[in-house]
Amino acid sequence: MKVMYRGIAIIFFLSMMIQEGIGQDQMVISRDSNYIPPVQLESFEIKASKEKNELQELPMSASVLKARNLEQQEMNSLTELSSRVPNLFMPDYGSKLTSPIYIRGIGSRINSPSVGLYVDNVPYFEKAAFNFEFFDIERIEVLRGPQGTLYGRNTMGGLINIHTKDPLDYRKTSLSLNAGNYENYKVVVGHHQPVSDKFGFVVNGAFVDRNGYFTNEYTGNPADDLRSYSARLKALYQPKDNLKIEYSFNFEDSDQNGYPYAEYVDSTNTAKNVNYNNPSMYTRQMLSNNVTIEYETSHSIIKSVTSHQYLDDVQSVDQDFTPASLFFVEQFQEQNMLSQEIYFQSKPEDESSYEWLCGAFGFTQLTDRQVAVDYGEDAVAAYGLPGPMNYDKYYDQNTSGAALFHQSTVKDFLTKGLSVSAGIRFDYESASLDYQYDKFLNGNQITDESFDSKLDFWEVLPKVSLKYRLTEKVNTYVTIAKGYKTGGFNSSFAREQDRSFEPEESWNYEWGVKSRYFKNRLQTNLSVFYIDWKKQQIYQPVIDEQGEVQPGSMLDNAGQSESKGIELEFRGVPTVHTEGFLSFGYTDAKFVEYVDGEDDFSGNRIPYIPEYTFHAGFVYNHEFNYNMLDKVMFRIDYRGVGKHYWQEENISYQDYYGLLNSKITFEKDDFAISLWGKNILNEDYQAFYFNALGKSYAQLGQPALYGVRLDFSF
């Protein structure tokens, strides 16, 4: 907590210093008059593919980060969104393969995501695709709470919408060069070209090279270096005022040494050096493309989104993370996903008392995966094996789904200012798995097991909201929604009944107030929520028919939990030169019922869920008439993450920690130079923790980072 208070004190002190230099005539309310300068916060319209309403009017808890916020905070990937949005936490697991997100206590560490992700209208169903490099991003929208009625599967915790910049916004060529300590380099180049008022395109690319923050003591090489190449093409054709056709293509090639896990000494809360013999890495080639067609009639909008996503990756991991030659695992995965969505909605019109939306969605996802495990020479000796052993598992999985959905909103229902919104989704999903398991001893095959399995899931997802306009600037709402996460197949099991697991579901109850004050110079959002979570998918040890524990883990619908909490956001512009913001989220997520063998964890906190998140900051900008300088911008912000446990036993935990970040930018014409720092107080913390083979391991968080950025445009 001392770090938190120190960070807040620094922000407060700097803001007061700057305020003193501005002059009393620029404060919100002058001491000598009632004059208020003509500055206000901009309104945010939610551009999610189905929600086209101003942020403050939506009956849900939502946050928006625009391009300038991302650039000011030097946000380079989705992981850096963690704690900047209330009750959102995304721990760093050491590679882009595993990128779980938790919102309001809802999330999943390894299996299918519990938070949805859309990028330029393309749904990302695979967590291995979540962590990609940011560049040329227009905005990020975070919708908290279940979004299954309009978005379907795996949106129990919420939804993240990412939108890149449009081709017709402006014409320019840009170059960004970024360099920091630990040999961090990033180059972004782009060209926006409106060919005419009807057609334009954007083409850009990014290169990232990072030497890593940790060294593998055994090899002497970096344990987490990264190199990636990204490219994007986006074209927009608007032959008529009521017709738009957009094509988007994204590609990324990423190669990283990952998993900088070090043995952790629980008694002293200290980590040793990273030290394991088999180099661990993750490589990924990923592309996505989509065609979006939008047509407007006099009273409605018709939209079609056709998308394809391809992912090809390889994971290699020293499974014991020690210098001993025990277990080495490789996973090879190739995945294709096709989706088609079409929906109709009424045009938002102030004079209309009724708004509606209905549509259909379908997808198919084809996955080929191979997992190869080698028992090293030390494992052969430790387990008394007669010789070298290895096994291969093959998974040929096909998942398809279809859905119909509808939502209606009635304004001024029964009384003026009261709006009622109700929606429902009928969701069907089918999955099949062709599985083969081959085990080898001394080069000879000793086991050959295979099977075909099929699963079918039907789900009905309702949602009801009431919104009441208390005043012109204050709205209050109540929302009840059902959340749903699909079931699936286990990759490790020893009994027939453990081959698959069922879907999990939740009911979310939320009340909130959204308000604006001082001629829209201050916005406040408050929400309180309660989530009843059933059939929770929890990892369990693999048990064979004789009741013996086997290597690996599997999912089982073993838990029932509840999560309740509060979210608060403030944004304000006290003067024409300053902006301040503060967000706070509190989550109390606990098991109601969870018994694992002889251990009863009922009443314990759910792992990986911070008790609270905190983000506060201050921005100052000033324009000059100097020959050498047009504008200066200074930003400082502080992110805090509350105590969270790493295991169901609630023994090992990461206590509260805070990260102080800052950036100052000088602009002249089309050139800018920035100096930035992240975690500038060099706070120590654990980014991840786990147990394996009777030992504890941890990945430490990123150390203090500093750098310089140059931006050119012409």
pLDDT of res. 524: 93
Q: Three-state SS across 37-102?
A: CCCCCCCCECCCCCCCCEHHHCCCEEEEEEHHHHHHCCCCCHHHHCCCCCCEECCCCCCCCCCCCE
Residue 528 CB contacts under 8 Å (≥ 6 apart), including other chains: 510, 511, 512, 565, 566, 567
pLDDT of res. 34: 36
pLDDT of res. 52: 61
Question: Do 455 and 430 contact (CB within 8 A), yes or no?
Answer: yes
Task: State mean pLDDT over 377-389.
Answer: 88
Per-residue pLDDT band for 229 (boundaries 50, 70, 90) equals very high
Res. 198: pLDDT tops 50: yes
Phi, psi of 77 (to 5 degrees): -160, 175
* Average pLDDT value for the chain: 88
Res. 7: pLDDT tops 60: no
Residue 421 CB contacts under 8 Å (≥ 6 apart), including other chains: 59, 407, 408, 409, 410, 463, 464, 465, 466, 467
pLDDT of res. 26: 31
Question: Do 465 and 479 contact (CB within 8 A), yes or no?
Answer: yes
* Least confident interval from 1-10, 13-22, 594-603: 13-22
* Least confident interval from 80-89, 343-352, 415-424, 601-610: 343-352
The continuous run of DSSP H or E covering 543 comes out as strand 522-543
Per-residue pLDDT band for 121 (boundaries 50, 70, 90) equals confident
Res. 126: pLDDT tops 80: yes
pLDDT of res. 583: 96
Task: State mean pLDDT over 272-291.
Answer: 93
pLDDT of res. 30: 30
Task: State mean pLDDT over 49-65.
Answer: 79
pLDDT of res. 50: 67
Residue 228, CA distances (Å) to 292, 551, 605, 677 in order: 28, 34, 37, 22
Token pair of 108 as six digits: 């999943």
Res. 37: pLDDT tops 60: no
pLDDT in tens, 390-399: 989 999 999 9
Residue 222 CB contacts under 8 Å (≥ 6 apart), including other chains: 211, 212, 214, 215, 216, 257
pLDDT of res. 4: 46
Task: State mean pLDDT over 59-81.
Answer: 90
pLDDT of res. 11: 43
pLDDT of res. 14: 41
pLDDT of res. 210: 93
| β strands within 376-485, DSSP E | 389-410, 418-441, 444-471, 474-485
How many residues are there in the chain?
714
Task: State mean pLDDT over 106-119.
Answer: 87
Task: State mean pLDDT over 222-249.
Answer: 94
**How wide is the angle at C-alpha 297 spanned by C-alphas 296 and 299, nearest 5°?**
110
Question: Do 348 and 52 contact (CB within 8 A), yes or no?
Answer: yes
Task: State mean pLDDT over 487-497.
Answer: 80
Residue found under tokens 């330029």: 120
Q: How far is Cα 280 from Cα 637, in angstroms, rounded to an integer?
A: 34
More confident residue, 552 or 161: 161
pLDDT of res. 12: 41
pLDDT of res. 605: 96
pLDDT of res. 48: 57
Res. 9: pLDDT tops 60: no
* Least confident interval from 119-128, 488-497, 685-694, 700-709: 488-497
Instruction: Please give the residue range of the domain that contains residue 419.
Output: 2-713
pLDDT of res. 303: 95
Per-residue pLDDT band for 700 (boundaries 50, 70, 90) equals very high
Per-residue pLDDT band for 479 (boundaries 50, 70, 90) equals very high
Res. 558: pLDDT tops 90: no
Percent of the chain with pLDDT over 90: 62
Res. 424: pLDDT tops 50: yes
pLDDT of res. 472: 87
Highest mean pLDDT (candidates 206-210, 348-352, 501-505): 206-210
* Least confident interval from 236-245, 343-352, 358-367, 497-506: 343-352
Task: State mean pLDDT over 578-585.
Answer: 95
Q: How far is Cα 10 from Cα 555, in angstroms, rounded to an integer?
A: 46
CATH number at residue 327: 2.40.170.20
Per-residue pLDDT band for 612 (boundaries 50, 70, 90) equals very high
* Number of neighbouring beta carbons within 10 Å of residue 626: 8
Per-residue pLDDT band for 49 (boundaries 50, 70, 90) equals low
Q: How far is Cα 696 from Cα 380, in angstroms, rounded to an integer?
A: 22
pLDDT of res. 632: 95
Task: State mean pLDDT over 398-402.
Answer: 95
Phi, psi of 69 (to 5 degrees): -65, -45
Phi, psi of 706 (to 5 degrees): -135, 150
Closest alpha carbon to 517 in 476, 473, 477, 475: 473
Q: How many domains does the chain have?
A: 1
